[in-house]
Every structure is written in structure tokens, then in C-alpha cells.
Amino acid sequence: MNVFGAASLAGTFAAGAAILAGVIGGLAFLAVVYMGLEVRMTRMDFLRVLGSMMAPKASRRSVYAIGVAIHLMASAVFGLIYAGILTAVDVASVGSAATWGVLIGAVHGIGVLIVLPMMLAMAHPLVRTGDLERPGALMTGFGSMTPAGSLAAHVVFGLVAGSIYAAIAL
């Protein structure tokens, strides 16, 4: 692995594989998030929060459709970013990519837990009007286990996206 050497995205970077891996990782992320919602680990309905941020007065169906579209587009972009990092560190196997994916996912998840509550509090129209719960520090406004669930979902994203990218691109 080229961890300490000069990082390069030249060579084996495969954008199509990265986008596919990101979208599949995003679906795995949603599975974890909605399992957490179903077992009452959290009260955060991720797709509703995402969709209503763009269309707060839209119908329930439209809000979820917008949430899915935004999430899958973001997943594709993060797939490209994760694949870029995996290419830069020159992973040589699916196992190595999975390990790096978990690490990148954990860092990504921690960043989200720090930044997203502030973004929602400042910019989400339903949070600002009181029609959606305030997220609180580390998203604990949606339940005390929400940070653990969010972190787990990001780790799963990294595991799945990294593994799939390596399986296709290597």
C-alpha cells in the first residue's frame, strides 16, 4: 500500500465501478438506518429528513422520493470519493479495501455526527419551525442511540462500497 508515498489517482481508478459501489453501499446504509428505526433505536426517519429539507410542504410520497434521489446521488458521489482514497492508498485486495472502507466509513460517520446537527438546526425548514425534532448534539435529539446507529450505517457503507469497488475494479 502506498500510504506514506505520493498519492495518485492515475491508473486503476474506475469511476463506473465507484458509482455502482457507492449506490449499493447507500442501499446497505439505508437498510441499517431503517432497521434502527424499526427497533426504536432512533426516531430519525432519514429519508423524510432529507426529502423535507428540499420540499417541506410536499406530499409524503414526494418527500420520500426526493429523499431517495438525494441519498442515492450522494451515495454515488461518496462512492467516487471512497474509491479515490482506495486507489490513492493502492489497495491490492478486496479484504484490504473492506478494511480501509470500514476505517473511512468510521471517519465519515464521526464527521457527519459533528456537522449534521448544526446544519439541520440552521438550515432545515421543519426544524426551524418546530415541526421536526431538533437534532441535538451528535444527533441525540432523535434518541440516545442515534449516534451509534448513524456510525454503524456509515461503517457499513464503507465496508460494502469498498468491497464492491475492489471486487469490480481490481
pLDDT digits (tens, 9 = 90+) for 75-127: 999 999 999 999 999 898 999 999 999 999 999 999 999 999 999 999 999 99
Average pLDDT, the chain: 92
**pLDDT on residue 160:** 98
pLDDT digits (tens, 9 = 90+) for 51-66: 999 999 999 999 999 9
Going from N- to C-terminal start, the domains of the chain cover 15-169
Amino acid at 128: R
How far is the C-alpha of 147 from the C-alpha of 112, rounded, in Å? Answer: 10
**In angstroms, how far is CA 64 from the centroid of its own chain?**
17
**3-state SS class at 112:** helix
pLDDT digits (tens, 9 = 90+) for 132-161: 999 999 999 999 999 999 999 999 999 999
